[in-house]
Structure 1
Amino acid sequence: MQAYLMAFVIGGLICVIGQLLMDLTPLTPAHILVMFVVLGGILSGLGLYQPLVDIGGAGATVPLLGFGHSLVSGTIEEVNKAGFWGIFSGAIKASAMGITAAIVFGLLMAVIFNPKG
């Protein structure tokens, strides 16, 4: 039960920050999206995001910050295994499942609901 609560709290706080940025700043959603992914990568590279993942679980890994964390942590892990060439394969290996799911579910929703173009 505590894991669900912490995931809700951490994920909710990340969403609140994003909403406040959209409401109180002139930043567009695209700017905020890029900022969150980059911030997640930077925090992961500095070793500051993993403790948040340990506390919040899916509440920290599912939002955009988690995608940046996934890219950087996957790259670091692959560099430790394969050396220099891990730079090119680590991020793709770590994020392939999430990217594939986004494409497949996006296509499925477009087929089902007939999007307006």
Structure 2
Amino acid sequence: MFTMIIPAFIVGGLICVIGQLLMDLTKPQITPAHILVIFVTGGVLLGALGWYEPLVKMGGAGATIPLSGFGYLLANGAMQGVNENGFLGAISGGVQAAAVGIAGAVLFGYLTALIFNPKG
């Protein structure tokens, strides 16, 4: 059990450290929204180049749960879609691969908005 938890903690922690350093060292030029785009795009690029796969194998959930893991999932889905359906698979494959995560985020975001009142 610890052989899975420790690497996931280290890999996920290092990804978070990178994000925190970007926010602290580039204030106010890079906002959290910029970090989101950088991580997702970075995950796509690293996944497409095959460099994110070793992180996933080593870190498991520590590499797949952060935003860069979402980008990696999109890249893998797009590559699978191209192999199965040609050019149009590049678009549909990424969406199909991430559909469950996207649907979950929308559903739980909606439920949270119904339960809690935002501060105005």
Q: Equivalent residue for 1:40? A: 43
2:34 is the counterpart of 1:31: yes
Cα displacement (A) at 1:16:
1.0
Q: Equivalent residue for 2:11? A: 10
Aligned amino acid, residue 60 of structure 1 = A
TM-score relative to the length of structure 2:
0.93
Q: Equivalent residue for 2:73? A: 70
Q: Equivalent residue for 2:85? A: 82
Cα displacement (A) at 1:88:
2.3
Cα displacement (A) at 1:112:
1.4
CA RMSD of aligned residues (A): 1.0
Q: Equivalent residue for 1:61? A: 64
Cα displacement (A) at 1:25:
0.8
Q: How does 1:88-103 map to 2 (within 5 A)?
A: 88-103=91-106
Cα displacement (A) at 1:78:
1.3
CA distance in 2, matches of 1:109, 1:9: 30
TM-score relative to the length of structure 1:
0.95
CA distance in 1, matches of 2:5, 2:85: 36
Aligned amino acid, residue 91 of structure 2 = F
Cα displacement (A) at 1:31:
0.7
Aligned amino acid, residue 89 of structure 2 = G
Percent identity between matched residues is 59
Q: Secondary structure of the residue that 2:93 maps to in structure 1?
A: helix
Aligned amino acid, residue 99 of structure 2 = A
Structure 2 unmatched ranges of 5 or more: none
CA distance in 1, matches of 2:88, 2:38: 27
Paired residues, number: 117
Aligned amino acid, residue 21 of structure 1 = L
CA distance in 1, matches of 2:23, 2:90: 33
